[in-house]
Structure 1
């Protein structure tokens, strides 16, 4: 029996349990189990896909493994923040490389300009609250995040009929939304139901990125 169709459902169930733990509805210690488990399930699903696009598959899997490292570091949001930031920055570089397989990097300058403006606006609203020691790595991270989302959208603009490109674009946009909410919650003011909004958008983003790989027997576009 092919386990692939069950893996996204298991990932969503694990994500719900992690969100409940992070929100206090379940013992907080359960987040240490379900947070890495959710991303591991996304990795397992991505592993079953993309055989027809091996280079892109390898780069997305690298990005997911780096994301898993970031998830683990951020279980300690104080001392693990910088390590988590670097892990996710590297993950975004891997995703940029993956989304540059079907279309060259920067192929749609207007898309990059739009994401650049959005990123700059968000960063400008938070800048005064970011500690000086974190400003350089935060700027580097925001640039990589915006480029990842823009490159995914550029792939979709180049192949609008491709469901895989569309999923990548949605994943990139949701990743940017999730990290924007995380930054607001950390540096500006606490958000109501922050774990729900931050983690749900994050894992839907990762599932969309995994789904940008074609299933067995279908070529990418």
Structure 2
């Protein structure tokens, strides 16, 4: 049984990568039917949830909220499969960032390393200012709120990365910020060439890094 679990753990990253590639090929109509994206997009996130599930049991509160963030992200993935699902997707991912932020602040207090918040805040302000004229008026408040919490999540991940050496988490936050930034540029100031190639790999790499940050089930806890 233990050997089976170990083999599955080694296989999961490959399955995640293969599903992500299949989703990209389907969305770009590169050899797979476009409808295949309705399978492979949620499947990729589900596989990341499977990766995260056995991890972090020594820190149950952190684990619970990271899993909640992944589930909200799955809901957002499904919503964004339809053009009319943008608002639902935005709200689902906003909930995901709040869940991640809550998880991360169980490890270190909010803004424990303030320079991370300064850096992300300045970049977020610059991007939002650039996009502002292209954002429809009814979406300006929800988009601005989303940017605030996305930036706070990424900055808190960066703070933990700096203070605790958690480079996977810091990288996950940065990749999520980059992915959503490119998505916003494509939607409100685009089109951005090969946007899917920029958005999807960074998004799933971000989710993978956040899931992999949780302590493996076999190891000892090294974080709260």
Query: In the TM superposition, what is the alpha-carbon distance from 1:7 to its structure 2 partner?
Result: 1.4
1:6 aligns with 2:11: yes
What CA distance in whole angstroms lies between the structure 1 residues aligned with 2:109 and 2:15?
A: 34
Match of 2:128 in 1: 123
Structure-1 residue corresponding to 2:51: 45
Range with bigger deviation, 168-177 or 99-108: 99-108
Regions of 4+ moved over 3 Å: none
Matched residue, 2:74:
68
Corresponding residue of 2:97: 92
What RMSD in Å do the two structures reach over aligned CA positions? 0.9
How much has 1:192 moved relative to structure 2? 1.7
Q: Residues 178 and 197 of structure 1 are in contact (CA less than 8 Å); yes or no, is this contact kept in structure 2? A: yes
Normalization by structure 2: what TM-score?
0.94
SS in 2 for 1:178: helix
TM-score, L = length of structure 1: 0.95
Unaligned runs of 5+ in 2: none
Q: Which residue of 2 aligns with 1:218?
A: 220
* 8 A contact 1:23–1:196 mirrored in 2: no
Q: CA deviation at 1:156?
A: 1.3
Aligned partner of 1:36 in structure 2 is 42
- Aligned-partner Cα distance in 1 for 2:10–2:61: 23
1:196 to partner: Cα distance: 1.4
* Mapped partners of 1:62, 1:220: distance in 2: 21
- Taking the aligned partners of 1:143 and 1:135, their CA distance within structure 2 comes to 12
Return 5+ residue gaps in structure 1 as ranges: none
1:85 to partner: Cα distance: 0.3
CA deviation vs aligned residue, 1:44-96 (integer Å, no higher than 9, x gap)? 0000211111111111000000000000000012x100110000001000000
